[in-house]
Amino acid sequence: MCAMAKKFDLKLKGYVGGWDFDTDYVDYVLDKAGDKEVTVLIDSLGGSVATALSVSSAFANHGNVHVFYRGMNASAATISSMGAKHISIEKSAMYLVHKCSQAVLEWALLNADQLKAKAKEYEKTASSLEKIDLTVATMYADRCKKPVKDMLDLMAENKWLTAQEALDWGFVDEVIDSTEDVKLTQTVANAMAAAGIPLPDNMPVEADGWLAQLEAMFKKWFGKKEAATAQAVAEPDAKPDNSIQSTVMKKVFLMVAAVLAAANLKALEEPKEDGSYALDEAQLQALEDSLAQAKADKEADEAAKTAAETAKADAETKLAAAEARIAELEARPAATAKPVVETGEQSHANEEQSPAEALAATLANARQMLGK
């Protein structure tokens, strides 16, 4: 089993047809490479069938393209590689082929005639999708050396294949060592659900983005839940303290509600049957902004604390130096008195004089002024 290429001439990720999976850029890289082998990394959940067919054709025309699949690849992302000379897939990657779909958005009041017209429109759309499915299934069949009907049946199942299953079907030429584990985040899961893509069996959905930050913050603030879990492990026969979890969830609910209220957004709606709450985009953005502000405030507090500690250290250093100077001066012997020299000028003010010396100096100055 070989390893994944360390460098790729082309990386195609994200939405097929988007800026990071663009036909023009594919053509540019292939033309620049000439007859040399072009290594391509694909990591995408699909997108535009038109773009996928164009990319597949470009790979076939070049004739020397090696595609590497990583992560979760579905729909148009699988079509894109059909024109490649060689296809590899990481052993931890997932692969999904399914029937093409089209968004249908309708919100209107229709009478019988309008409904019949709309039904005919949908029938026409369905007929077009069936033709696209047949085209794609034929491409799969040519690659896999399988009957077209088998490909259509597999596409209708709409289920994920492991890397080994993709190899067994013939979609790929080899399974290679993985460079990273496949992780399914909540954001990706939501995008998949919106696109009608099923979630892989037995694959946990992990928090990401603001959700991950919120989860970390909850763990930091409400560590009692982890303590309760540890106690349950140490004392399996003990009755679980559901009040801890209830208290945690109550605090979380109140905190989220406070953030939404501060942003002048609508309050949380009634929970679903599983106890979860649905948040719209504005509410999610408010929570993310709140987390970002909390992080900024924390960093500012830490910076101010550091500056205060530095200033305190400087002041303590200066105070210690002053105290040492005072001790040094106090340890010196007292200065001795010096005789006054009559020079016609006033004696220096910084020289200490006894009362007798001061009187003698005054008399001497008086005699000088009187000319005596």
On the question of pLDDT at 271 being above 70, the answer is no
Q: Tell me the mean pLDDT in the region 324-335.
A: 73
- Tens of pLDDT along 152-193? 999 999 999 999 999 999 999 999 987 777 777 777 777 777
Q: Residue 62 is which amino acid?
A: H
Q: Which residue has the higher pLDDT, 295 or 148?
A: 148
Please tell me the distance from the alpha carbon of residue 171 to that of residue 139, in angstroms, as a whole number: 10
Look at residue 233 and tell me whether its pLDDT is greater than 70: no
Residue type at position 181: D
Give the mean pLDDT of 14-43.
94
pLDDT at position 248, please? 44
Rounded to an integer, what distance in angstroms lies between the CA atom of residue 198 and that of residue 126? 21
DSSP 298: H
- Report the half-sphere exposure of 137 (CA within 13 A, side-chain side): 19
**10-206 belongs to CATH 3.30.70.20:** no
Domain borders along the chain are: 10-206, 210-298
The string of DSSP letters for 90-102 reads ETT-EEE------
> In this predicted structure, which of 45-49, 55-59, 229-233, 361-365 has the lowest mean pLDDT?
229-233
Alpha-carbon distance values, 131 to 138, 152, 197, 319 (Å): 11, 12, 20, 88
Q: Which amino acid is at 293?
A: Q
* CA 280 to centroid of chain Cα atoms: 20
* pLDDT greater than 50 at residue 227: no
Q: How confident is the model at residue 22 (pLDDT cuts 50, 70, 90)?
A: very high
Q: What is the pLDDT of residue 230?
A: 45
Whole-number pLDDT of residue 242: 47
Q: Tell me the CA end-to-end span of the chain in Å, nearest whole number.
A: 123
Residue 128: band (very low, low, confident or very high) from pLDDT cuts 50, 70, 90:
very high
Mean per-residue pLDDT, 199-224? 61
More confident residue, 252 or 75: 75
pLDDT of residue 53: 96
Report the number of secondary-structure helices (H) and strands (E) in the chain. 12, 10
pLDDT tops 90 at residue 69: yes
Cβ partners under 8 Å of residue 180, min gap 6:
70, 92
